[in-house]
Each structure stands twice: as C-alpha cells, then as structure tokens.
Amino acid sequence: MNNASNTIVKSYGEELRHLRELLARMGGLAERQVADAAQALVQRDAAAAGEVVGRDGPIDALEREVEAYCVRMLALRSPMAADLRLIIAAMKASQDLERIGDYARNAAKRAIVVSQQPSLGGVVTSFAAMAQLVQRNLKDAIDALVNDDAEAAERVWNNDAPVDDVYNGIFRQVLTYMMEDPRNITASTHLLFIAKNFERIGDHATNIAETVFYAVRGVTLPEERPKADTSHSAVVRVPAG
C-alpha cells in the first residue's frame, strides 16, 4: 500500500474515532440531564429542575452534528459491513439520545410543579430507585456504543424488566394517593407522567443497546424484549369509606 493509501486509511480511522467522540459527548450530556432531573424531583428543587429545562439545546445541536457527519461519511467513504453498521448505528443512537434529553426535560418541567405541591414522601424512594436503574442502563448502553461492546449491550437489553417492575409499583402507589385524598391529584398526575418519562428513557437506552448489538454482531436481538410493564392493567383497591 502506497503512502497516499495509508493517509486515506488513517484519515478514515480518525473520522470513525471522531464519530465515537461525538456520541460519547452527547451521551454524557444525556446522562447528566437524566441524573439532574431525578435529583431535582427527589429533592423538590425547582431551581435545579429549571436548569435542566434550560439546557436541552446542546444535545439537539449534537444530534444534528452527528447526523450531518454520518451523512458525509456515507457519501464520501462508501463504508461496508461493520463500518456501515457503525455509522447507521450512530445515527439511530443519536436520535435515541436526543429523545432521552427531551424526556429528562419534560420530567424536570413537571418536577417544578411537584415541588410546589404537598409532599407525597412515600413514593420518593421508589422514584430514586427507578432513576438509579435507568441511569445505570443508560450509562452502560452509551459505554457499549462507544466501545463496540455487544456483550454489554445484551446485558442492558436484559436489564429493562427491573425498570418496568419499579414503574409498576410507582403507578400503583400514585393511584392510591389520588384516591385517598383529592388534594393529591395534581402532584400525583404529574408524578405519573414523570414515571412514564423515566420508563421511556429506559426504553431508549434499550434501543441503543439493540442498535449496538446489531452493529457489532450483524444479527439482531430477539424481537420480544424482556418487558414487565403492567400499568395498563393495574388494579388499585378503593379505600373503604
């Protein structure tokens, strides 16, 4: 291989590394948004929640940058096999990360309202547990993406069900609060939406894991995810009156 070819290969390798750096930066911002939204909710900190709401722009900008960068690589490099799957995976994952940022922002907006309502202290522990599970899955999914780690991606895929288990518990807790005292309805309604936002963040982390697994192995994970969301059929006992 002549020197000119060496230069082309090196440049292509550098482009792939830069793409991973963009994804890592975007993932880091998404992780911070989720963590800060959860903390603001648990601590009833309206100011911190407002900061989360106000810094959604950089994630959106990075998603546009990743997409443009990937389109350029597809046009100029004509990648094949694993490289092609990586570039397509980067585009899909950046869309998932952008949605994760949106869900964190939505959770933070509702956390502001919740902070101004009477405290429903019993459910805070459950939200903290759910947020911890979601954050761990998100971090592991991003690490798997940046490191081309199919085994780590499969572990994230298998860890989605525990998030649903906690979500189901929160759903029942909050419905009970609403039925016990009408004064809890406003806070409870927002908490239900926040819980769904975190559950959807977990789903998008699983999307990233599925994308990574395919990009690395060239085969898909099973179509049926290990889900455990039963909120659609939740039954809450009405307190005797």
Distance CA 46, CA 50 (A): 6
Let me know if residue 87 belongs to a domain: yes
The pTM of the full predicted model, rounded to 2 decimals, is 0.88
Quote the number of domains for the chain: 1
CATH of the domain at 201: 1.20.58.220
Write out the DSSP string of 32-56: HHHHHHHHHHHTT-HHHHHHHHHT-
The pLDDT, as a whole number, for residue 201 is 97
The pLDDT, as a whole number, for residue 77 is 87
Q: What is the DSSP letter of 221?
A: P
Distance CA 202, CA 214 (A): 19
Instruction: Please list the rounded mean pLDDT of every run of 10 residues in the chain (241 residues).
Output: 49 90 96 96 96 94 96 91 93 97 97 92 89 96 95 94 94 92 92 96 96 95 70 47 42
Let me know if residue 116 belongs to a domain: yes
Domain that holds residue 82: 3-233
Let me know if residue 68 belongs to a domain: yes
Let me know if residue 240 belongs to a domain: no
Let me know if residue 42 belongs to a domain: yes
Q: Where are the beta strands (DSSP E) in 129-235?
A: none
The pLDDT, as a whole number, for residue 223 is 75
Give the chain's count of helices (H) and strands (E). Answer: 8, 0
Let me know if residue 27 belongs to a domain: yes
Let me know if residue 169 belongs to a domain: yes
Distance CA 194, CA 199 (A): 9
The pLDDT, as a whole number, for residue 13 is 85
Indicate the burial class of 63 (C-beta count within 10 angstroms; 0-12, 13-18, 19 or more).
buried
Let me know if residue 80 belongs to a domain: yes
- What is the per-residue burial (b if ≥16 Cβ within 10 Å, else e) of 204-217? bbbbbbbbbbbbbe
Phi-psi region of 78 (alpha: psi -120 to 50; beta: other; left: phi over 0): left
